[in-house]
Structure 1
Amino acid sequence: MDDRLRTHLTTHQRGMFALLKKMVCINSGSHNKIGVDAVGRVVTDALAGCGLSATVIEEEAIGNHLVVRTPCPPTDAGGVLLVGHMDTVFPADTDFTGFREDDTRAYGPGVIDMKGGLVAGIFALKALSAIGLLNRIPIAFVLNSDEEIGSGRSKTLIRQEARKSTCAFVLEAGGLNGEVVTARKGNLSARLAIKGRAGHAAFAGANKASAILEMAHKTLAIEALNDPDRGISANVGTVTGGIGPNTVAEHAGARLDFRFNRPEDGERLKNRLARISADTRVTGTASTLEIISGRPPMPAGDANQSLYARVEKIAGRLGIPVSSECRPGVSDANTIAQAGTPVVDGMGPIGGRDHSPDEYMIKSSLPRRTLLLACILADFAGKR
């Protein structure tokens, strides 16, 4: 079975890169609904003729989600869940556009995060269809449109599908040394707004109600929450405020990011952040804290390790190096883990510098990782 899948995918390598280029050249920033929906149509067209069903879940403000299913109904134990996202961090007006490649790398917005992973998922399914296995494997492939902005609209969908599944694979990028992800930290994203009292700087006394001054006190308190020994990171990422150097700032704002390994640490961070917000150091100012989004940790439990062992065995058979890692970034795998479903992430091709104008994919990794995914899925049909 491995050889049949390898032969099919080798024959269709040119098609993989053609599809990758087509998707990368469509801007699909999270808030570009037209672009994200266009990527969804490309996915549907690419899978036409494979006997799959495709359900579009309509959204008004963001792109539509897409759920693709094989014709095989889930067993009592459930099916296999694939998850990938169609949105990127690059907005419609980005200067980082187009697709280019050299001998070893491909470049472009979303090439590795995660349109390369989508291509791997699509061609794995196409390969299984070509050898007649899709009607023997219950697979649901969820392609969401809002992962880069916290999956606020798609979390419920992903959680529902996870609860119906035996296991899941998420198609985020693999590590540069072949790593796949068996654990992730949780995260918390928040916004802090401070209101003071405006005035002329020349006449402001020692008791001026400066929102920026209050923000400075809070910035130091928030940064003091960093605890590397416990795996906790706290970051004040952006700060805005004031209207000019000769004016006491009436408003200030900050965006905050936290990462943690344990659910209880996430709750503790929320409580401590609330106390910091409520503790006014500059008289005449008031603070408002808003929790924007968050994902629970994805622990490296026994179920994930067992699923990874299955991946490792198949990868060894294929001569594809893999290892496991805990990744500090978050993904939809965190939501799947919260549902209690074993999950391995980082199953997409290998690359780096994502979220930057230097984003790249190592081209040779795309066919290798697609083959690995196809053989893993075939394993659920009891084939070798």
Structure 2
Amino acid sequence: MTTHRPQMFALLKEMVCINSGSHNKIGVDAVGRVIADALTGCGLAVTVIEEKAFGNHLVVRTPCPSTDTRGVLLAGHMDTVFPADTDFTDYREDDTRAYGPGVIDMKGGLVVGIFALKALSAVGLLHHIPLVFVLNSDEEIGSKRSQALIRREADNCACAFVLEAGGLDGEVVTARKGNLSARLTVKGRAGHAAFAGTDKASAILEMAHQTLAIEALNDPDRGFSANVGTVTGGIGPNTVAEHAEARLDFRFRRPEDGDELENRLFRISTDTRVAGTTATLDIISGRPPMPAGDTNQRLYTRVEKIAGRLGIALRPECRPGVSDANTIAQAGIPVLDGMGPVGGRDHSPDEYMLKSSLPQRTLLLACVLADVAGQP
């Protein structure tokens, strides 16, 4: 991979310098075209799944003849959390790191997938590996438009690899928590603050009670996390607030824990403390947990052995964040995440990638794909 290192970093820079925030369809589609061009000459079939409101998805397939053998799924996303009007737009490098929006989350991972396929094509193996690479446009906002596509492809595969960033100590993700995202809306009764008594129906006061009850759901021993992330409400300091809204985030280890959390949330929202107020809970999105099972462990052990032969140190990790690996896991196939390059501070203006990890993880992925497909 060292031979192609300049091309890898040139492609990374080109993609990072295109803003592809989840709501920037023009930018996401531009990244998709760059990827399709980069794969030209590999004999791959590239299908564009058109979307109107969001970026188009790409589905890339190898030319392997149809067999009874189930294939391999690669997954990566082209969108980032940085909106079109962000000030964080530049790509730069120093001796050890590359910096830029999405450099590890996850345009670096896309480069890993692209050049692993190019390497396998160069040695004539792509015709023998049944593989599909799904590149979606909406992962950072819950993969609502691509979730069914990903699950459909996972149902036809034997195993999967997701190209989110690897950990700084060589972690590969063997399990992930599930999540729920919700909106809580409180309605009260407006009035002049100067004439309000102790019985005022303030939506903000009720939201304060709701916030305390929701935050009390945090239970580290059980793996529950609850967070009231944003709160808005009212129209001015001299008016009793008629309306308040909060956005909520929850993480959990097991599917049944998610059901329990949801039930407890609905009970909290119906148990209002301030007379004259009502609260409504809406579940916005969610992903089920990606459990650490025996099949994931066996796949990880296989990858770890290959990495050992390459002199690459790996460690398994249960990661609290969610990704499209959570969706893939529901198909009942083994899936490893964090197969992309190593870095940190993603979702911030300090996002960086360790440059040495880009060719290293590309080599690892190429060898792993050849191995799981039974190729030397």
Q: Could you state the TM-score of these two structures normalised by the residue count of structure 2? A: 0.99
Matched, 1:28 2:11: no
Whole-Å separation in 2 of the counterparts to 1:332 and 1:183: 12
Whole-Å separation in 1 of the counterparts to 2:367 and 2:47: 25
User: Does structure 2 retain, via aligned residues, the 8 Å contact 1:133–1:381?
Assistant: no
Whole-Å separation in 2 of the counterparts to 1:265 and 1:310: 31
Structure 1 residues 169, 100: closer, same or farther in 2, change over 3 A? Answer: same
Of 269, 273, 279, 2:271 maps to 279
User: Does structure 1 retain, via aligned residues, the 8 Å contact 2:288–2:327?
Assistant: yes
Question: 1:159 — aligned with what?
Answer: 151
How far is 1:179 from its partner?
0.5
Aligned residues: 376
Structure 1 residues 278, 73: closer, same or farther in 2, change over 3 A? Answer: farther
Whole-Å separation in 2 of the counterparts to 1:382 and 1:113: 30
Question: 2:173 — aligned with what?
Answer: 181
Matched, 1:91 2:91: no
Deviation per residue, 1:217-249 (Å, 9 max, x gap) = 000110111111101001101111111111111
How far is 1:383 from its partner?
3.2
Of 339, 362, 367, 2:354 maps to 362
How far is 1:121 from its partner?
0.1
How far is 1:37 from its partner?
0.5
Question: 1:123 — aligned with what?
Answer: 115
Matched, 1:309 2:309: no
How far is 1:250 from its partner?
0.9
Question: 2:138 — aligned with what?
Answer: 146
The residue type equivalent to 1:355 in the other structure is H
**Alpha-carbon RMSD:** 0.8
Question: 1:212 — aligned with what?
Answer: 204
Question: 1:67 — aligned with what?
Answer: 59
Whole-Å separation in 2 of the counterparts to 1:154 and 1:10: 34
User: Does structure 2 retain, via aligned residues, the 8 Å contact 1:121–1:171?
Assistant: yes
The residue type equivalent to 2:22 in the other structure is S
Question: 2:186 — aligned with what?
Answer: 194
Whole-Å separation in 2 of the counterparts to 1:35 and 1:257: 28
Question: 2:11 — aligned with what?
Answer: 19
Question: 2:32 — aligned with what?
Answer: 40
Whole-Å separation in 1 of the counterparts to 2:255 and 2:66: 31
How far is 1:169 from its partner?
0.1
Where 1:290 maps in the other structure, the secondary structure is strand
Question: 1:111 — aligned with what?
Answer: 103
Where 2:6 maps in the other structure, the secondary structure is helix
Whole-Å separation in 2 of the counterparts to 1:84 and 1:242: 41
User: Does structure 2 retain, via aligned residues, the 8 Å contact 1:169–1:343?
Assistant: yes
Deviation per residue, 1:323-347 (Å, 9 max, x gap) = 1010000000000001111100000
Deviation per residue, 1:260-295 (Å, 9 max, x gap) = 001101000111111111112111111121101100
How far is 1:74 from its partner?
5.0
Deviation per residue, 1:6-45 (Å, 9 max, x gap) = xxx2211100000000000000000000000000000000
Gaps in structure 2 of 5+ consecutive residues:
none
The residue type equivalent to 1:28 in the other structure is S
Whole-Å separation in 2 of the counterparts to 1:187 and 1:380: 30
Whole-Å separation in 2 of the counterparts to 1:10 and 1:170: 23
Question: 1:5 — aligned with what?
Answer: none
Question: 2:219 — aligned with what?
Answer: 227
Deviation per residue, 1:287-316 (Å, 9 max, x gap) = 121101100000110010011011001000
Where 1:358 maps in the other structure, the secondary structure is coil
Question: 1:337 — aligned with what?
Answer: 329
Question: 1:249 — aligned with what?
Answer: 241
Whole-Å separation in 2 of the counterparts to 1:277 and 1:375: 51
The residue type equivalent to 1:176 in the other structure is L
Where 1:12 maps in the other structure, the secondary structure is helix
User: Does structure 1 retain, via aligned residues, the 8 Å contact 2:125–2:375?
Assistant: no
Deviation per residue, 1:71-97 (Å, 9 max, x gap) = 004532310000000000000000111
Where 1:113 maps in the other structure, the secondary structure is coil
Structure 1 residues 303, 167: closer, same or farther in 2, change over 3 A? Answer: same
Whole-Å separation in 2 of the counterparts to 1:256 and 1:269: 12
Whole-Å separation in 1 of the counterparts to 2:200 and 2:182: 27
The residue type equivalent to 1:304 in the other structure is N
User: Does structure 2 retain, via aligned residues, the 8 Å contact 1:172–1:345?
Assistant: yes
Question: 2:292 — aligned with what?
Answer: 300
Question: 1:323 — aligned with what?
Answer: 315
- The list of structure 1 runs, each at least 4 consecutive aligned residues, that deviate by more than 4 angstroms after superposition, is none
User: Does structure 2 retain, via aligned residues, the 8 Å contact 1:190–1:292?
Assistant: yes
Whole-Å separation in 2 of the counterparts to 1:314 and 1:302: 19
How far is 1:195 from its partner?
1.1
